[in-house]
Chain A
Amino acid sequence: MAFIRGYLIPRLIQYVLVIWLGITLVFIIPRLTPNDPVMRVVGELRGRGSTLEPGTMDQVIADLTEMYGLQGSWLDQYWAFWGRLFRADFGVSFFQFPTRVNHLIATAAPWTMALLLTTTAISWTMGNIFGGLAGYYSRKPWSRTLDVIAMVIRPLPYYIFSFALLLIFAYVVRWFPITGGAQLGAIPTWKWSYIKDVLWHSVLPAMSLIILGVAVNFQTMKLIVQNINAESFVQYAKLGGVTEDRIVGRYIIRNGMLPQITGLALSLGQIFSGALITEIVFSYPGLGSLLYNAIINGDYNLIMGITVFSIVTITTAILILDLTYPLFDPRVRYN
């Protein structure tokens, strides 16, 4: 009971509030700009009118008018906005008329989620193990070498790092396909040949996310472990004759992982943004590439849809991570 009242309920309230604030930002931002977004989009659409199917324009204008709310006070508009969100209705996409935004997101999201989940899991685990070992043996030459490599990679933003990888694999060594998610025209099935093709195409985007992620986790973990190293229980274990492997593996790294779980939760939003950007570099068919097309074509409905979807998904993922935290922390678990 104490857990529910002291931890679960405040955390759930925070979750709801974060989503509320995030979505309210999405609602307010277009209204703060000096020009009427709907009229601007309508103007842009008129400019391209000839390339559109008849009926597109009316539909899009109707959608936009409702979405950005031209009728009623701000409060009315705000209610209508939430009403649409609860029905998960983001209207139709303009650059792929008349496909609904929901459908586009549903097609792209699994690609992003698969890429994001696997790379985050791999880079978190690898970064913690390497960082833990390097922190414990911080005076060994290999530890210092790893540290310098991490120092070089870590500051690079996702875009620059993926782009540098792209250049290397486009010019110097041509081992992996540098664009796309699968062979052009391949039909998605559960056959091994198709799965192999998808995996083969995801090597580069996954690699750039993993290398950057490992560098970040490596450095934070190394710092945490160096601090734990100075604590008296480690000295005591050493004096008591506990083997080094056991000290590192069971005492130090496991203790260091706890703050790393919190760290992962806090940086998930950034990792997600990074994945979107990486997808754009490698034209990987996930939400990032969808977003890129939406920006190029000025598709507001789609951008709004992706933004709202991402806010809800990421916040939920962080909530799940936070709620499972007690499972990892024996102090909380045994209470």
Chain B
Amino acid sequence: MKILRDLFRDYRFAVSFCILAVLVFMALLSFFSPYDPTLWNVVPRDLKPSLKYLLGTDSNGQDIFWMACFAVRNSLIIALIATLVSRIIAILVGMLAGYKGGATDRVLMFISDTLLVIPLFLIMVLLAMLVREYMNLVVLGLLLSFFGWAWDARLIRSVILSLREREFTKNAILSGTGTLNLVLNEYMPFTMPLIFSTLINNMAWAIGLEITLAILGLVNMTIPTLGTMLNWAINYQAILLGRWWWILTPVTLSIFLFIALYWLSVSISEYLDPRTRIQRVGAG
């Protein structure tokens, strides 16, 4: 409880916590939606926001508020799949490279450097084009996860490199602890805070890339996400026809989501860094 209280002293944590709470509530609300998101023309088209239709309706004859709930839910699901799988890859690569060193380290770090340096977005476009017809939430999440681990593997590796030189490593090895045991039980706790803060950043990255791929029409357009909602609105010329409520809903939701995720990660990593924590909450 004390940790939470300290964290809430930072306005950024408080703001992002509230925004995320609202968004998660929307995502949960989608389970109680009166409409099926795959059906069209369930409500009158192109109505402005009103009490009956909170955020208005779109040109497909769908209620924008309920579509937004589905969109937030699906975008979060994609982000979670992408992030969790890429965390596993990042942890494995980072720990292996850091602990083994030598040739293993060089090869793994070369691969991750390459992924960092080349314009990945184009590779993803190429890949997404080829699996377009199999595209769903899981495939997209996995696709993103294969490319989202490079930077974080590097961070984890650098932590392991410094842990390896510490006294307790020698103690553990001399007292007969196996490599797997050592890495999982002794090193993992040290890297957990780092893994957690990269997790949030990676979620934001995945959601952003989903929106970009959706704008290019490379994802399954029948699944509502923040990206596909925006794509439909643009395709139906919502800007030109002045249907601001349709275009602004996904844009505003994304802006809030990105700011909330970023502030959360900055706030938590500042809290985890003892130097900045003392500045903020005092030494006590």
Contacts and interface: CB of A to CB of B under 8 A. Distances in A.
A118 to B, nearest CB: 19
Given A18-B114, A33-B131, A164-B251, A157 B258 contact: yes
Interface in A295-322: 295-296, 298, 300, 303-304, 306-307, 310-311, 314-315, 318
Nearest to B130: A33
A40 B211 CA distance: 26
Contact of A157 (B111, B118, B212): B212
Given A157-B211, A160-B251, A266-B117, A29 B127 contact: yes
Contacts of B121: 273, 276-277
Interface residues of B, number: 43
15 contacts: A18-B114, A151-B266, A154-B262, A155-B204, A155-B263, A156-B259, A157-B211, A158-B212, A159-B208, A167-B248, A273-B121, A276-B119, A303-B126, A306-B122, A314-B118
Given A29-B123, A291-B122, A303-B129, A155 B261 contact: yes
B215 interface: yes
Interface string A256-277: 0000000000101110110011
B119 A159 contact: no
Interface of A: 14, 17-18, 21-22, 25-26, 29-30, 33-35, 37, 151-152, 154-160, 163-164, 167, 170-171, 266, 268-270, 272-273, 276-277, 280, 291-292, 295-296, 298, 300, 303-304, 306-307, 310-311, 314-315, 318
Nearest to A296: B217
Contacts of B248: 167
Contacts of B239: 167, 170
B113 interface: yes
B54 interface: no
Contacts of A268: 117
Given A29-B127, A307-B126, A151 B118 contact: no
Contact of B123 (A156, A266, A296, A307): A307
B218 interface: yes
Contact of A152 (B113, B119, B247, B259): B259
Contact of A160 (B110, B111, B211): B211
B172 interface: no
Which of B116, B119, B218, B239: most chain A Cβ within 10 A? B119
Contacts of B255: 156, 160, 164
Contacts of A18: 113-114, 117-118
Given A17-B110, A167-B251, A291-B125, A155 B118 contact: no
Contacts of B266: 151
Contact of A25 (B12, B110, B123, B130): B123
In the A-B complex, the 3 residue pairs with the smallest Cβ-Cβ separation, listed nearest first, are A155-B262, A157-B208, A273-B121
Contacts of A25: 118, 123
A117 to B, nearest CB: 16
Task: Give the secondary structure class of A's interface.
Answer: helix
Contacts of B261: 155
Nearest to A230: B275
Interface string B253-271: 0110011011100100000
Task: Give the secondary structure class of B's interface.
Answer: helix
A160 B226 CA distance: 11
A310 B119 contact: yes
B29 interface: no
B251 to A, nearest CB: 6
Nearest to A287: B122
Interface in B229-264: 230, 239, 244, 247-248, 251, 254-255, 258-259, 261-263
B208 A269 contact: no
Contacts of B131: 33
Contacts of A152: 259
Nearest to A31: B130
Contact of A21 (B111, B122, B217, B218): B111
Contacts of B92: none
Contacts of A34: 134
Interface string B180-214: 00000000000000000000000010001101100
Contacts of A160: 208, 211, 251, 254-255, 258
B120 interface: yes
A158 B216 CA distance: 14
A295 B126 CA distance: 9
A295 B129 contact: yes
A299 to B, nearest CB: 10
Contacts of A276: 119, 121-122
Nearest to B263: A151
Nearest to B226: A160
B186 to A, nearest CB: 29
Nearest to A17: B110
A270 B208 CA distance: 13
Nearest to A309: B122
Contacts of A157: 204, 208-209, 211-212, 254, 258
A155 B208 CA distance: 10
Contact of A295 (B117, B123, B217): B217
